Each structure stands twice: as C-alpha cells, then as structure tokens.
Chain A
Amino acid sequence: MQISALDTTTSPLTAEQAALLNQLVASLSPTQVAWLGGYLSGVAGYTQSLLGLLQPGQNGMATAGTLPSPSAAASGAPEVTILFGSQTGNGEKVAKKLQSAALAKGLQATIQDMGSYRPTMLKQATCLLIIVSTHGEGDPPDRVRELHSFLYGKRAPKLDGVDYSVLALGDRTYRHYCKIGKDFDARLEELGAKRIHDRIDCDVDYEDAAQLWIDGVTALLARKAGPAPAGAAPQGFALGAMAAATTSEYDRKNPFMAGLLERIVLTDEGSEKETLHVEISLEGSGLTYQPGDSLGVFPTNSPELVDAVLTASRLDGDATVTTHEGEGGNLRELLTQRYEIAQLTPDVIEKYANFGSISELQALMSEDRFDDLQSYLHGRDLVDLLQDYPLDMYPNDLVDILRKMTPRLYSLASSLEACPEEAHLCIAPVSYATYGRDRFGVCSSYFARRLEDDGKIPVYIHENNYFRLPEDPRADMIMVGPGTGVAPFRAFMQHREMLGHEGRNWLFFGEQHFRTDFLYQAEWLQWRASGLLTHLDAAFSRDQDHKIYVQHRLKERAGELYEWLQNGAHFYVCGDESRMAHDVHAALVEIVMEQGRLSAEAAEDYVNDLRRSNRYQRDVY
C-alpha cells in the first residue's frame, strides 16, 4: 500500500496537524499503522475513524467516514457473517484472517463463500463483512456472479437493519479498479443496509490495507458488543483449519530461494512463440502445494532497463537510498529488485505528476481522462516517463514514486505426487515493441533470459482453493486449457495418474500451430494411449485460413460434452482471461442450451448450478 502525504486539500486537518500526521505515518511500519488504525477507531468518543479521513484515489482507502451507530453499540454482540468472493484466493485468505481476528475479540463470526451462499439468507444477516475482488474487465469473480446479479435483480431484498462493511480487492492498473467491491458497497446501502465502516480498496499489494480494515471493523464491533460474555465460545468454523496446513516458514513475505533444475523451450523451431517449461526445486523448503495452486515468483528487472532508468533520471546507481519502508540499499539494487520499472501504473503517474507539479500529467488523473491516461500508460515504461517529463530529483524521490515489485503467479504444472519437491511451470514470454524499443515482460523475461542455469528464484506458494480436482476420484473432468492455460491440467493428470483416480478426463487444448506449439504434446498422447485421457481435442488457430479456437472444438463435441456434464463431469477453464474465458463460457452456455433444449435463462441457471456445486471452476489471467 502506498500512502501519500496528506495536506489541507486532501483532508480536513490543519496544515500543522497534517504535517505531524504525515511525519508520524512515514515513520510507522505497516503493523504499526494497522495497530494505530485500530487504536484510533477504538478511542471512545472518537466520532470519525481515521481511516475515513483518508482520501480515495491515492491511498487505497475510502471517502468520508460515517459514525458508528450508538444503538448498534448497545445491542450486544452481533452475529457477524464474513462473506467473501474470491477468484485467485486472496480474498479467501483475508476472510480467514478476519475470522480469526473476530473470534479473538470474542465476536461470533461465520465465514461464507459467496459461491455457496444462498442469496436469500441476506435478509437474515445482522452484520455482513464483505470481502470481494474484481476480475475480468471489472467483472465479479466466477463464484460471485450469481450473488452480484441477485443484488441488482428484481428479487433483491430490503436490507434494513443489516450492518455491513466492504473490503474490495483489485488492481489499480485496471480501468475498473475494485469495481465489484464498490458495487456491493453502494448496492447494500441502496437496499437499506447500514455501512458501519468505510470500504477499503486494496491494490495488488493488498495485505497491509486489508489488515487495516480487519483491525478497524473488528475493533468497532468489539466495542459495540462490549466485554465478551464469559465462556462465550467462538462460533463458526475456522476455514483456515481446512486448508492444507503448510509447515513451511516460507511465504509471500518470506520467499524461498529455489534452485532452477531445468528450462526447456517447448515450442519448436519456426514457432512465433517461445513458451518455456521450467522446473524448480523446492527441496529443503518444506513448501507443499496442491494441483491448482500457483507459484508466486519475485523477478528482477533487466540490467539494461535499470541502466536506462538511471540514465534518464541522471541518478547514480551507487547512491544509497532508504525507502519509506525503512529498507536501505543502493539505487541500482533497489531498482533491480524492489520496484516495477517496466510498466507504468496510474499511481506512479500521479505521484510523479504531483512531485514535479507536472500539470499535463496531473490533468490525466481526472476520471474523464481515464482513456487518455490508459493510452499514455500503454506500452510505456519508467524510462519513457522520465524522458517525456524530465525532472531533477534525488534517488529517494525516485523510489518513493515507484510501485513495489509485484510477484507474478504461474500455475503449477506438476503434482508433488509425481514430482516430489519440484515445481514445474509453463511460461509464455511476453515481448513487444513500442515507441521504437523492444520491451520484455519482467518475470517471463527473467525466466527466459536473465535467470542463470544455477540461479536462485524467490518463490512462494499461492493457494487456490477454487481450482481443485474433484473430490470424488470417480468424477469426470473436462479441461479447457489453451496456451499456458494447459499448465494446471498437466498437474491434474499427473495427480490422477499417481493416485489412480478413475474418473474420465478430457482435454481441450489450443495454440497457433499444431506442428510447433502443441505444449506437452507427447505427454498428452501418452496419457491418451494409457487411457488416462479419454479424449484429447485441440484447436490450432493459424493452421488454416480461418481461425479455430477451443470454443469451436467444444461446440463440435457438444453432444458428448453435454453427456459428460449430465453425468457429473467437472468443467475447468484456465488461461487467457481477456477473450478465451468469455468465449468458452458463452460456448458452454450455448451447448447446454442446445443439447439440453433449454431457454437461455435456464441454461445460465444450469451453468450457475455447475459453478455453485464447484463443478465449473476457472483460473484465468
């Protein structure tokens, strides 16, 4: 979370107060900030939560604060329903943390996944704490779609008497930042519910901001409830206990330095791609994972780009810098390891614009200039910004405007059953040329070009409980995984093979060219020959005049596919979010409509049922 300075225009504080606060905040560690948030909101008589004072758009937090309701405070321990909607697991993690925090404070808190929550239960809730992320282009996570449209539909209930607060997860680089969280926040209010704590919007680096919210809402509710009645047993089950207990000391905050075992270009000569297969050793880390999980990787920037940044900023790479997180190091190292420099994001533009009072850039920050902002950001990196709007600055100024390096996620393409202590990834290098310069995706080019054969990679396991093999080993699976989307299905197959799962398996793969781009072809064919894979269908878009994609293959196989679904098959989709996942979804609905002779609405219901029963799962990016 980036906290930028307060002033009289962005807060109701006096200049003096703002300065003091700024000074204080700058010196705080994230946990101290979190604690302070809790402390301030808990101070008796304090009518406005500090969090509410912070302005949106620059600090990841919501607008004007609201008063905690005194009547609620008097009404004893509310039953808290933690309702989360998550696609890639972040929201779920936060939900579990919130539950633990609530239970620790003696609150009754149950945790509910929006995907399996009956919307009609809303009316009976007393206090809803909502955690929800945004996906696609401002779309709800798959398992949230139903609840989301229910709230906007005719059957949306009156929610008078329901207290709520929303934590929104998102990514500021997207146009519809935290849109779904905002939707929930606004819609619940419209339906009569009462916001007891301001929404907090979290950027990809969500942990600290989420902690602030957790501390804020739990403190608030605890205050309302008064002292916990003696012997009150915490209610609800802790979801956290269900998840595979990782004994490892390594996580996102403390990544494991893993060794590279093997790196193979999977695509053959003549391909337009250079998709990589990477094998990484987890030996000694204690890290474990399940098929469906991803590996988080912290890449480093290319030395050439770092040099270019130094040149453009006219700064000395050897200069020593202390970041506001208290980290120190020389500038070159920090730029290489700690910050995003290969991409520009709105927050960086904003800070840079404000720092240099560049009115042209400042103007880009207004809502109605969003498209202009996007078109400036597109295809540009920090070097472009520094060249386009040169400023004199100190090394510290530079790192202060930058966004911290986000770890990249890669679907695990292996199963520990088949590859103990190994993690296999399938990575499509990103490269493009814009404004006369070749550009490379940070992490993919790190794997493809910079990582030495004996190099170490900072990694952690990113759990994803929404992309899991069927619990029933006899259940059939239909897997749609074009491009690198095929990666988790390799893990699925390895797992099912090793454990002797009897369910049938059907893979739909897609790429540009059969000859050169059929990722893991030999393995799929072997699995087909052994009978593990019942069907293998592939679409190669550029092997003929007209484009053929996986959704076309799905439709070609509609009859049998529907039979499988009727028979209980699970339907998985992994890979490209922007187009493929939509087209496949549409194809699925169409197939159900046509084969089941259903109306469009009934087909949507059918697919929603699949989703609710965890039989339609997606991991798209």
Chain B
Amino acid sequence: MAANDNQHGPPSDMERIKETSNYLRGTIVESLNDAVTGAIAADDQQLTKFHGTYQQDDRDARLRRQHKKLEPAFTFMVRVGIPGGLATADQWIVMDDLSVKYANNTLKLTTRQAFQLHGVLKSNLWAAIHEINAALMTSIAACGDVCRNTMATPNPDASTIHQQVYEATMDIARLVRPQTNAYHEIWVDDKKVLTSKDERPPEEVEPLYLKHYLPRKFKIGLAIPPHNDIDVFSQDLGMIAIAEGDRLVGFNLVCGGGMGMSHGKPETYPNAGTVIGFCTADQLCQVTEQLVTIQRDFGDRSNRQHARFKYTIDDRGIDWLIGELNSRLGWQIESARPYAFESNGDSYGWLKGIDGAWYMTLFIENGRVRDAGDLRMKTGLRKIAELGLCDFRLTGNQNLILGKVASSNKKKLQKLLDEYGITAVQSTSAARLNSMACASLPYCGLAMAESERYLPDLMTRIETMIKEAGIWEVPITIRMTGCPNGCARPYLAEIAFVGKSPGHYNVYLGAGFTGDRLNKLYREGIDEETILQELEPLIKHFAAERLNGEHFGDFVIRAGYVKPTTAGLNFHD
C-alpha cells in the first residue's frame, strides 16, 4: 500500500528505526536495565516516544556536569494523554502521587489535554508507567509517529451534545491506538526482566498503521462551537461538531492544520486547517480512518520537516485530498455546515452546565501544577481530589475544570480553593488568563529560549502597560514558545513570542481571537526591553482606537501593523 512513488528521497533514519523495531520494542528493555547510564540507546530514544516517554536532560545542569565528567542529568518526561481531557479524581490522585514519588513534584497540564511528569529517572520509569496503567490511564502513543491524544472540548456548559461528542472522541481514540503488544509487555506485564532475546509473540499487525506507522505525528481534535478551545484549525484533522437542537448530527472536517516550523526555513510554515466538508457522526470513524491512511500512504517519509499532513495536502491541493478521500470511502462527503466560534480560550469560574451540574474552570498558569509560596495549587487540588466530589477535566489551554459538581458540594470545593490560594490567582488580567507557554527549559531539548519559566514575569510587565491603557478586562491571547515548533500554538495567538535565542524572541501579531487565522511576524529576535518598547505604543493605540468588541488581533491588521495571513503558504510573506 505504501505509495513509494510519492517519496522524494530515501527514507529517513526514523523509518529504519521503526522498521527494525519489531513493532516498537527495539532494545528498550535492555536500555532500561543498563544501570550505568541514565540514558537509553539512541534508537530507543526514538521508540520510547511511541510509548509516551521522552529522554531529556536538565539543561541547566549540562555544562556543570560536563565539567565534572558526569553524563548529562538525564531524566524522562512521561506524557499521559487523556482523550477529551476527562480524568477522574482518583486518576488525579495517582498522577499527584507519581509526581511526588518519581518526578519533580509538579504536574504539567499540556496544550493537548495530557498530564506530563518531568524529571523521572530511568530507574523509576518502569514503575511510573506501570502505575499509570494500573490507574487505567496510558501513555501509549502520547508521542511518536502516530495519532496523538484525541482532543475535545471538555466543558459541557454551552452545549447539550457534549456527551455525544465525548463518545465520538473515545471511538476515535480507540480506533487510532496502536495495536502492538510491545507497550503492554514492557510496561504493564509484571515480568520486568524480559530481554529482547526472550521469545516473542508472533508478529502482530497494525491494521491502521502497518509496520512503519505514520510518517510523522498526526493530531486529531473535536471542537464544540462556540468553543474553539482545542484550536481545531491547528489539528491535522479537526472536527467541528454540528448539532441540530440537542442532537449531534455530524462534523465539519478540517484538514491540514499544524504549527511547527523552523526559523530560517520558509519551506516550513504553520497552517490553519481547511474545512473540506461534512460527515455524519456515524461516518466519523470511517472518515478518520481513511484520512489517516491517506497521510500514511502519501506523507513524506524522507524529509521529516516536510512530513506533516499539511505539506502532503499543500503539495497536491485540497481537491486531490477530497477526491482521494471520496474514492477510498466509496462515497462522497457532504459540504460543510455553518458554525460559529467565539474564542479559542477557556471561560473561567463557576458555570452551570446544561446538564445542571456545576463546572469550575481554573486558570493554571502555563499548566504547571505546583506549590509556590501562598499558592498551594498542588496540595489544594489534591485535597479536592480526595473529596471525590468532582471530575478533573484538562483543557486544551493547559487549564483545569473541576467538573460535574453537585450544587450542594460547590461550597466545599470553593472553600478549599480559597484556602490554598487558588482563588486568589484567578483574578488577574484577562490577557494573562488568555496566555500560555510551552514547557521549554530546562527539560525540552529543542528549546532555544525560556518559555514557561519566563512568561509569567513578562506578563507582569505587560500587565503594567495594559492597566495603564485601561484594558485590564480585555482578553488578548498571548502565547509563548521556546522555539518555533509551536507547542503552545503560538501562531494562533493575537500576540506570540517565539524563542530564537536565549532572551530573544520573534514577535508575531494579528491572529484571530477565535483561532481561525494565523498571525504574522512583526519583529524578529528582540529582547525583553525591546519587546516592551514595541508593544507599548500598540497597546495604547488599541486602547484608544478599539472599535466596539474589536479584538487586538483584528485591530493590528486594521491599523496596518501587520498584513493578515490567509494561508500557511503566505505566512512568511
């Protein structure tokens, strides 16, 4: 089935690794048992991604340890994807426990509704992943060349179809989950001391992925209007739920979104996906399967920088995609239905769901759950979880919803939120509430500049200007990443800071507030003082000449600061 004639060159090394891995086993077990290094073998570093864990090192310690003739301070990041973001209180407790036992005593809530543990030593990795599974969660396919965690709007506040969309989300999650038994053998089975020489079960088959899996990561997310909190236009395959009254009828299909690009390589670019049509809820899995296999068969397996679905599509055109899809389906998808988004952020505070229960959306700055000074977020949330009176919903903006709270229990939760300082940090500028930053330093190996550790301070300085300008309450999406990969989806932010080198950022402006339009480069590689100098007149101008309800991203275009980006292909123009 592999469409070799679609390939531009010899397969990348990653293709060899996948091929020779015996369905993702590699020598992971041997690597784990190698006690004299905190690292795992090079090929295994690629393979463990499919198992949801990345080898990293504490970059703050790199030079120091090199000088001391020690290997880098290797640790592992473990990602636990939660489809649709819906976790139980018990699962929260488990993750909290693991963060204490095996990680750096923090939890990271990611931009794709996952938990991340940082700083897990190799010697603890097996136990950590094993215990995650014991709590009915998994890290499989949280990373790697597969379909990643399936996202979905977690908040049922504004729509009756939430439950139906959640079920569709789980159907997709099951469909795209790798079938190899490798994960189970390595992490879940209790016989830990297995080696690659041990007898293997007969070759399994990956019905969806085949032996080489996908050319690159593939991301799927379902949005329920008016919320675009999962940034449906950033997904390789996005779905916009279409309801008729209380009934989910189907989904608009959005294809070819993606954020990743590289500085200085204009052939790489972020893209906002294109709405290609509509399918019914019943057809969703079938359509998903065909779109994934189209990317599997046509995606670039030679150049990983050109391997995402967006490039596969842009190389051939949307019409080709629709034609290929229809021919694989044997029937035609319908034309898209109307929809309307209000924002790609979260709505904070207590909201009553259409189901009658209460939902408390909490701002978790940059998704990092920890205790720091008066803000004892981690302990507080733990206490709340122990009450067992709510579920825990991870949002696509690194935030948390305490969900399905009975009216009678609201007060108890509120009391704990107050007591642990969590309430206090909710009242901040609307801009901060709409900010997010990727993980970046010290663990991210690709980071070029600080992000998560830095944005809060930068925001404090920006807030000073915002306050002076009198727009404290005006939401502005502000996103920062430590490199152009775009993990906090910066190119869909009204203001974005993308790391270029330590202390220096590219500034992008002008994305749509609903997450439907990419932004545009405004200033390149500037430091904090320059950032503030550049932003100040803009913010003043915006405050002074803002039209009624006008968003910052639209304003900077109207005022001529940047040109609108209408498609990924003209992002760099």
Contact = CB atoms under 8 A, between A and B. Distances in A.
Given A266-B70, A267-B68, A525-B37, 6 more contacts: A266-B69, A518-B70, A520-B69, A522-B66, A528-B36, A536-B36
A600 interface: no
Given A515-B73, A543-B123, A268 B36 contact: no
Q: For this complex, into which size category does the number of interface residues on chain A fall?
A: 20 to 34
A264 interface: yes
A175 to B, nearest CB: 38
B523 interface: no
Contacts of B68: 264-268
Interface of B: 35-38, 61, 64-71, 73, 121, 123
A537 B37 CA distance: 10
14 contacts: A269-B64, A277-B69, A519-B69, A520-B69, A521-B37, A521-B69, A521-B71, A522-B69, A522-B70, A522-B71, A523-B69, A537-B35, A538-B35, A538-B36
Contact of B67 (A264, A523, A538, A543): A264
B38 A268 contact: no
B136 to A, nearest CB: 28
A313 B73 CA distance: 51
Contacts of A525: 36-37, 71
A264 B36 contact: no
Contacts of B38: 514-515
Contact of B64 (A268, A519, A520, A522): A268
Nearest to A266: B68
A569 to B, nearest CB: 20
B43 to A, nearest CB: 14
Given A520-B69, A521-B70, A537 B36 contact: yes
A524 interface: yes
Nearest to A507: B36
Nearest to A516: B70
A478 to B, nearest CB: 16
Contacts of B70: 266, 268, 518, 521-522
B57 to A, nearest CB: 12
Nearest to B66: A522
A277 B68 CA distance: 9
A564 B199 CA distance: 28
Interface string A282-293: 000000000000
B487 to A, nearest CB: 28
Given A514-B38, A515-B38, A515-B121, A268 B65 contact: yes
Nearest to B68: A266
A520 B123 CA distance: 20
B123 A524 contact: no
A264 B69 contact: yes
Pick the most buried of A267, A518, A523, A524: most chain B CB atoms within 10 A of its CB.
A518
Contacts of B65: 268
Interface string A261-275: 000111111000000
A324 to B, nearest CB: 47
A103 to B, nearest CB: 48
Contacts of A269: 64
Contacts of B36: 509, 518, 521, 524-525, 528, 536-538
Nearest to B72: A522
Contacts of B67: 264
A519 B71 CA distance: 10
Contacts of A528: 36
Contacts of B71: 518, 521-522, 525
Contacts of B66: 522
Pick the most buried of B36, B66, B71: most chain A CB atoms within 10 A of its CB.
B36
Nearest to A275: B68
Contacts of A521: 36-37, 69-71
A264 B68 CA distance: 7
Nearest to A518: B70
A523 B69 CA distance: 7
A539 to B, nearest CB: 9
A132 B141 CA distance: 68
Contacts of A537: 35-36
A536 B35 CA distance: 9
Interface in A223-261: none
A537 B33 CA distance: 11
B307 to A, nearest CB: 30
A115 B133 CA distance: 60
Contacts of A264: 67-69
A543 B70 CA distance: 17
Contacts of A520: 69
Contacts of B73: 268, 515
A417 B56 CA distance: 36
Closest 8 CB pairs of A and B: A536-B36, A538-B36, A522-B69, A521-B70, A520-B69, A522-B71, A266-B68, A521-B71
Interface in A489-532: 509, 514-515, 518-525, 528
A525 B37 CA distance: 8
Given A268-B64, A543-B123, A514 B35 contact: yes
Nearest to A509: B36
Pick the most buried of B66, B67, B68, B123: most chain A CB atoms within 10 A of its CB.
B68
A75 B303 CA distance: 94
